[in-house]
Amino acid sequence: MLVTEPALLDAAQRILAAELVAIDLACSRFRDDSEISALNRAEGRPMAISELFANAIDVALRAALMTDGDVDPTCGRSLVRLGYDRDITELADDTSPLTRPPVPAAGWRCVDFDPQERVVRVPAGVMLDLGATAKALAADLAADAIYRGTGCGVLVNLGGDIAVAGQAPGGGWRVGVDDGVNSVDAGLPFGASRFNGPGRSSGRAPGRRTAARLDRAGRATAPVVAIQSGGVATSGAAFRTWRRGTQAMHHILVPSTGQPAQIYWAAVSVAAATCVDANTASTASIVRGQPALGWLASMDLPARLVRSDGVVLTTGGWPS
């Protein structure tokens, strides 16, 4: 998190911490006491939920509608079947082969949700997972809450999901976007977005084709863009990964098969009016593969797509 008024940093930090605690308690599949865990245990019974969890479900269902189901919140059981049954940091402890075949997502239209009454029901056996949208939503909510609470400009970066609110610094917030073909720059994982700070740049903006560049210390550099509002998100399959037997797994699934998406794009970065919209589009682009370029262009979304061979393509006015 960064703010434009250093004296307000502590106050902003308290707001951020409260927002993250709240979203975790509502949406974490890895907490027994979370609302989503309670819903997944409800065996088809309707459940009254908090305003925050209702917002998160509404956002997830909107993402599914926007992407024709490529970003689907009913993929929880699919992820568990592939071994993603605990926090990602714990998955390396179990590399035993999977014993059951993949299972497709149940399909987002099976979720019965009344946003006015804040009541939701999912069929027995269906497990929700909001991993594709809740982190981006948390970035949006935290940035907005910090701006309202302090009045200063703010940038929130939650693992590459970036949201800004309020007055940006002169020249905008500078964001480094990883190519997805190297991970050595500042120790970043593939596909991560990084804030570089006013006046600092870790590379030039991307052209039509971009090869990995090195600085004087021999570290790969990343292109930099500046944003004044909204959000930026980068999706890729090289960060949340694990292995079961001889199979390499990642967290971006094709809902119709329940299997990890085939990787055509190593990373896709999108800028949009909100971090949720940016992350929804970038995640769906990984699922869609090559056709994602035309899909993003049809929506005039600024995007930067890095092919697995390192070739970079841009659309929607992404700066050249």
Mean pLDDT of 284-309: 95
pLDDT at 181: 39
- Average per-residue pLDDT in the chain? 85
Whether 176 maps to a domain, the answer reads yes
Phi, psi of 306 (to 5 degrees): -110, 115
pLDDT tens-place string over residues 226-285: 999 999 999 987 777 767 877 777 778 899 998 888 889 999 999 999 999 999 999 999
Looking from the CA of 173 toward its CB, the CA atoms found within 13 Å total 28
Give the lowest-confidence range in 51-55, 60-64, 189-193, 261-265: 189-193
pTM here?
0.86
Q: Can you give the C-alpha Rg of the chain in angstroms?
A: 19
For 175, the domain range is 155-315
Band (203; pLDDT cuts 50, 70, 90): very low
pLDDT tens-place string over residues 113-168: 999 999 999 999 999 999 999 999 999 999 999 999 999 999 999 988 999 999 99
Unique residue bearing structure tokens 């929607």: 316
pLDDT at 90 exceeding the cut of 90: no
Whether 149 maps to a domain, the answer reads no
pLDDT at 208: 32
Mean pLDDT of 39-60: 98
In order of 58, 193, 249, 293, the CA distances from 239 in angstroms are 27, 12, 11, 22
Mean pLDDT of 40-46: 97
pLDDT at 210 exceeding the cut of 60: no
Unique residue bearing structure tokens 């700066």: 319
Count how many domains the chain has: 1
Whether 78 maps to a domain, the answer reads no
Whether 96 maps to a domain, the answer reads no
Give the lowest-confidence range in 56-65, 103-112, 256-265: 256-265
Better pLDDT: 84 or 305 = 305
Whether 222 maps to a domain, the answer reads yes
H/E stretch holding 235: strand 230-236
DSSP string, 46-113: -EE--HHHHHHHHHHHHHHHHTTTSS-TT-HHHHHHTT--S-GGGGGG--PPP-S-------GGG-EE
Whether 27 maps to a domain, the answer reads no
Whether 80 maps to a domain, the answer reads no
SS3 content of the chain, % helix, strand, coil (to 5): 30, 20, 45
Whether 42 maps to a domain, the answer reads no
pLDDT at 180: 54
Give the C-alpha separation, 183 to 177, whole Å.
Answer: 11
